[in-house]
Structure 1
Amino acid sequence: MELSRVKLVKGQIRVPSDKSISHRAVILGAIAEGKTYVEDWLVSADTLATLRVIRSLGVKVVRKGTNLVIEGTDYTFREPQDVLNCANSGTTARLMLGVLSTQPFFSVLTGDRSLRNRPMLRVVEPLRQMGASLDGRHHADKLPICVRGGSLKGISFFNKRASAQVKSSLLLAGLRAEGYTEISEPYSSRDHTERMLKAFGVNLYKMEGKDGHIVKMEGFQKLYGTKVVCPADPSSAAFFCALALLVEGSELILKDVLVNPTRDGFYRKVRQMGGHVEYTNLRELGGEPVADVVVRGGNRLKSVEVKPEEVPSLIDELPILAVLMAFAEGTSVVRGAQELRVKESDRIKAIVENLRAMGAKVEELEDGFIIEGSMSLKGATIKTYGDHRIAMAFSVAGLVAQGKTYIDDPNCVKVSYPNFYKDLFSVVQT
């Protein structure tokens, strides 16, 4: 795909619904008793992988466009007849390892080439401590992983990486574990699972302790089907926000955006950089804070530092934040983001390599990068490594760079945002 500099960004758009909430709505609806109604569900390659896995376990789901009706099983699934394919979705794999660890049958999870190389031991080890039997390649650090679940016991676990996927997997297992499951984190990861569990009738305790943030839950609680409305994904909206900020005279309204404080770190950081980002019509939707985000371009951006404790709230937005940093005045630093190394690609490497190709001065760190900001970037051929967020971030860079930019694999955006380019071109003037 070839991209050139645009003159203006204007209008309003409602980006697709949040991927994290869409995954969880299907999984919690499946384990609940009764029907769950999901509105504005994200239809993407990743979320469809979760839907296929759930259906393979005997769950009846009716989908009409972006609306779902899920017939809950009260945590009683049918043994799958085949391997469960999670495609490219790490959320599907890690959360379903927790769910399947509660089931008294044999199952196998796998994924595509990229997912089969992503680390799973961070979930597997605590699930083994709870009593599940899991085995696979590299001591079950890599998919395929076979699971023999059954009688579990609650554990206390320190989630040192502050990973929402690890926390969610253990909470889903803990729902069918004897006693209490307690998870502590040095700083709070995404809390969508906790919020949604409460909406399904589960009692959770959140507190502060010597190890940081603690979530505690008693086992064998029943979930009851409910209604879930999925707000717009702040990670998807971030690409449009960044583009509007970088084009003088632009004004863009992003509708119904999730602004959960464990997820809106990008927008807070952009304000620190001097960007005009305003929350309007702030309200609650299904237990989650939602707002319309107004973005105005033209403000000179200044450099900023991302500290390790800030990373969980903007981990998925770091590629597009890096693009903003390349245009900012001064030197920006990101530390504590080693998790980027094991996403759909090595995102630190991809960010550094592509920014350098566009003329930026970047130093690669083991856990992040240092970017010396400048007034402009030049067009280049972008290596996406099949990673949707790299493709989208550098598509934005291509629309504000001098000359032409080529995206080597634009189709990889289908993982989270199938209509990304259509929506992007709908708000730009060339």
Structure 2
Amino acid sequence: MHAPRPLTSRKAGALSGTIRVPGDKSISHRALMFGGLALGETRITGLLEGEDVLATAAAMRAMGATVTRDGDGQWRVTGVGVGGLSEPDAPLDLGNAGTATRLLMGLIAAHPFTAFMTGDASLRSRPMARVTVPLEQMGARFVTRSKGRLPLAVIGTATPTPISYTLPVASAQVKSAVLLAGLNTPGETSVIEPEPTRDHTENMLRHFGATVRVDETPEGRKATLVGQPVLKAADVVVPGDPSSAAFPVVAGCIVPGSDIIVAGVGLNPLRAGVFASLRDMGASIDEVNPRVEGGEPVADLRVRYAPLHGAEIPAHRAPSMIDEYLVLAMAAACASGRTILRGLSELRVKESDRLAAIAEGLTACGAIVTVAGDDCIIDGTGTPPKGGVTIGAKLDHRIAMSYLILGAVTEQPIRIDDAAPVDTSFPGFADLMNSLGLKIAAEA
């Protein structure tokens, strides 16, 4: 347990300046894992040094990889080869890292040893059955709490079997877990997804030398990995995390007079749905200096304030912005007219029930919000809600950050009861936002 760290956000003037957000969390996790499986030394620049990613680094060390940080912030990983991980001496504590947990379950499943995994209260409440089901088809076994929850034991198999698995729900984490189990599995392992999800795993596997095919089929997008490749060390430059960039971008969109630049943001089309959605609402977001870094499209985002209007955000966009709906809802609460966010069932099983967090928190702030099935309807008046409330973060970093952004435009301050979880994905969040002109402060 940690001591709560309350923060309060107050109304700010026009924002200005240039910032760089922390490295992409999804890519950071994968860089450490694939570097830990590759032969030779992988150098990683721009790694997100949040608690979630550091948990992955610790887990890879515990299973035999060498992971070190240089004084200049560059990370070095010396791998053990595909199939070379060793049984950890102690349980792997993943903290709040859901991505790390699910991907590591896949890695471990195809190794002939047993590993125990646990995490914080939030992670221990999250369902893991969607991962265990396909991995059990490949030969692994799991012992879990009820509903597939942590703590759990992964009992890996010495004779993994390749499968072709169709995702029942779009999930990059489940897809990646199956493909990672396929690394140490003979033959070809395939995952079919009805809705395309982020493809960092496929991109980075190729970067390290694996053969991955992607085909469009009548059932959906099919990713196929040729098993037991020789992965070779490959340097990785981690772009700015689009999920983290969404917070200053929304701030620039809703605070009158703002003109900011968020530099070096990863713009993988399967991750950039929030920026498309904001543009649908009338936001002024320009891509400057587009380039490719580490196999991923990157650009600097110039964001200027413009009045927002309501829009209907389609369900098919959800996989490309599943972590950004909370902060998008803050923008919708400041827009004029009705915004409908469709297909949000996945928000109910994130670090917290984020759909409830949108409805309850915005309603408390004075906004008009309706939840109809898996859709969230926000009726904006063209002016921000009044604020003046304390929001319970529920150990969820994105709840905390989203409402701190909203507090920059509400007439009355918004207080977050505990912002400590922000360090899992965005260390230094308050200071970086304040450098643009926000007014986020700890209580005296």
The two structures have a TM-score, normalised by structure 1, of 0.97
**1:116, CA displacement in angstroms?**
1.0
SS in structure 2 at match of 1:13: strand
After superposition, what is the alpha-carbon deviation per residue over 1:294-340, rounded to whole angstroms, capped at 9, x for unaligned? 0001x221111222211010111100000111111211111211111
Q: Does 1:284 align with 2:302?
A: no
Q: What amino acid is the match of 2:402?
A: A
SS in structure 2 of the partner of residue 74 of structure 1:
coil
Alignment partner of 2:9 out of 3, 23, 36: 3
- What residue in structure 2 maps to residue 187 of structure 1? 195
Question: Tell me, which stretches of 5 or more residues in structure 2 are unaligned?
Answer: 1-6, 440-444
For residue 426 of structure 1, report the CA deviation from its aligned partner: 0.5
Report the secondary structure of 2:223's partner residue: strand
SS for the counterpart of 2:151 is: strand
Unaligned 5+ residue runs, structure 1?
Answer: none
Give the share of equivalent positions with the same residue, in percent.
Answer: 41
Give the direction of change, closer, same or farther, for the CA distance of 1:395–1:174 in structure 2 (3 Å limit).
same
Equivalent position to 1:363, from 370, 388, 411: 370
**Distance in 2 (alpha carbons) for counterparts of 1:95 and 1:248:** 41
In the alignment, is the contact (CA less than 8 A) between 1:132 and 1:151 conserved in 2? no
Residue 103 of structure 1: CA displacement?
1.1
**1:115 partnered with 2:123:** yes
Aligned to 2:432: 423
Establish whether residue 67 from structure 1 lines up as the match of residue 66 from structure 2: no
1:225 matches 2:233: yes
Once residues 51 and 273 of structure 1 are traced to their aligned partners in structure 2, the CA distance between those partners, rounded to angstroms, is 39
Per the alignment, in what secondary structure is the counterpart of residue 33 of structure 2?
helix
SS in 1 for 2:412: coil
- Correspondences of 1:23-422 after superposition (within 5 Å): 23-64=29-70, 66-75=73-82, 76-138=84-146, 140-297=148-305, 299-374=306-381, 375-379=383-387, 380-422=389-431
Moved over 6 A (4+): none
Q: Deviations over 1:198-242 (max 9, x none)?
A: 100111111111111111122111111110000101111111011
Is the 1:4–1:400 Cα contact (8 Å) retained in structure 2? Answer: yes
Is contact 1:16–1:42 with CA below 8 Å preserved after alignment?
yes
* Offset, 1:121: 0.7
Q: Secondary structure at the match of 1:167?
A: helix
* In structure 1, C-alpha distance between the alignment counterparts of 2:217 and 2:19, rounded to whole Å: 41
SS of residue paired to 2:361 = helix
Looking at structure 2, the residues matched to 53 and 400 of structure 1 have their Cα atoms a distance apart, in angstroms, of 41
Tell me the SS of whatever aligns to 1:108.
Answer: strand
CA distance in 2, matches of 1:224, 1:148: 24
Matched residues in 2 for 1:117 and 1:2: separation?
Answer: 28
Residue-by-residue CA offset, 1:81-100 (whole Å, 9 max, x unaligned): 11111111011110001110
Q: Aligned with 2:347: secondary structure?
A: helix
Measured after TM superposition, the shift of residue 146 of structure 1 is 3.1
Q: Distance in 1 between matches of 2:146 and 2:438?
A: 51
Q: Note closer, same or farther for the CA distance 1:234–1:139 as it changes in structure 2 (3 Å cut).
A: closer
Report the 3-state secondary structure (helix = DSSP H, G, I; strand = E; otherwise coil) of the residue aligned with 2:385: coil
- Deviation for aligned residue 1:64: 2.0
* Offset, 1:429: 6.2
Measure, in 2, the Cα distance between the counterparts of 1:376 and 1:222: 54
Contact 1:120 1:143 in 2 (8 A): no
Q: What per-residue deviation string (whole Å, max 9, x for no partner) do you get for residues 147-184 of structure 1?
A: 23321111111112110110111111111112211111
TM, length-normalised to structure 2: 0.94
* Larger RCO (CA under 8 A, 6+ residues apart): 2
SS of the residue 1:153 aligns to: coil
Q: Distance in 2 between matches of 1:77 and 1:302?
A: 52
- In 2, Cα distance between the equivalents of 1:367 and 1:28? 35
Give, in whole Å, the separation in 2 of the partners of 1:266 and 1:97: 29
Q: 1:352 to 1:403 in 2, by over 3 A?
A: same
Distance in 1, Cα, partners of 2:244 & 2:262: 10
Q: How far, CA to CA, are the matches of 1:179 and 1:44 in structure 2?
A: 36
Secondary structure of residue in 1 paired with 2:210: coil
Once structures 1 and 2 are overlaid, which stretch shifts more, 237-246 or 377-386?
A: 377-386
